[in-house]
Copies of this chain bind each other. A is one copy, B any other.
């Protein structure tokens, strides 16, 4: 039973994934679940289960796949699912939890290998060492971290996939604009958003519940610059290399109002910004166009300055 086709008043039976669950206490003292559930299309629905037992609270947690019977209601102009029965899936259910977690289309190891191969080819030892070190420091999180809470690549492994796609573009452009320093460009690509790991709190399914306090007060750009300084000091990185890497992080959002107090001041920093934009936009557009028929327009998309995209009707 697909979430996208349920309607108000309908009975629901099917497998759903607990994307987030919060237990709350009603005025009468009873406990209930406030949940966001998704199906295998990754469509989501709000859900409530009233009068939950203490033992349930430990079982029905984020990241579990469950079978549910319930009824669709409307609340505050949104559909929500009132859960009557709920159990964990078992081996007889012939469903796989992996089908319920949206993830990227390339294997993690392949992407990590691709990045590592790129770093291995760096000829500037200072840039190579600091890039390798910071990449390795975050490698565990990269297997699941998304690139954003809501916008582009907001899925499991999205941050690494975004980095990997950008690196592919970087390699093409380095072949066309041969006056640039490849190591600097690739290092900038690999490190540009890695500060997000300290900016956001993500579970292992790539779902971001919130920003960290430091993320809110400083932001991933400042956080990553500070990180570069600490590691650079430790490794004795050449001061100019370290300064240029910090500038690339600082300037990659381009506009002050998007968080970059300085604009790109050398070609590798400029390219980093455009590559980041291209990959974020193409991801968002591909997703949005996949939801509408050829020959029609999408809803206005707030990650794309509010425009409606047109899905062309020919191949």
Contact = CB atoms under 8 A, between A and B. Distances in A.
Interface of A: 7, 9-10, 26-27, 76-77, 124, 165, 168-169, 172-173, 175-177, 179-181, 184, 213-214, 216-219, 221-222, 225-226, 229-230, 233, 238, 240-241, 243-244, 246-247, 250, 255-257, 259-267, 270-271, 274, 277-278, 281-282, 285-286, 289, 295, 297, 304-305, 307-315
A213 B312 CA distance: 11
A312 B226 CA distance: 22
Contacts of A219: 261-262
A229 B231 CA distance: 12
Given A169-B176, A177-B286, A315-B181, A297 B262 contact: no
Contact of A173 (B179, B262, B278, B304): B278
Given A26-B7, A225-B226, A230-B233, A285 B307 contact: no
Nearest to A297: B216
Contact of A250 (B76, B218, B247): B218
16 contacts: A124-B314, A181-B312, A213-B297, A213-B310, A216-B265, A217-B262, A222-B222, A222-B246, A226-B226, A226-B229, A244-B312, A257-B257, A263-B305, A265-B309, A271-B282, A274-B278
A2 to B, nearest CB: 12
A263 B315 contact: no
Question: Copies per complex?
Answer: 6
A173 B181 contact: no
A305 B270 CA distance: 12
Most B C-beta atoms less than 10 A away, residue of A27, A213, A246: A213
A175 B175 CA distance: 15
Contacts of A238: 314
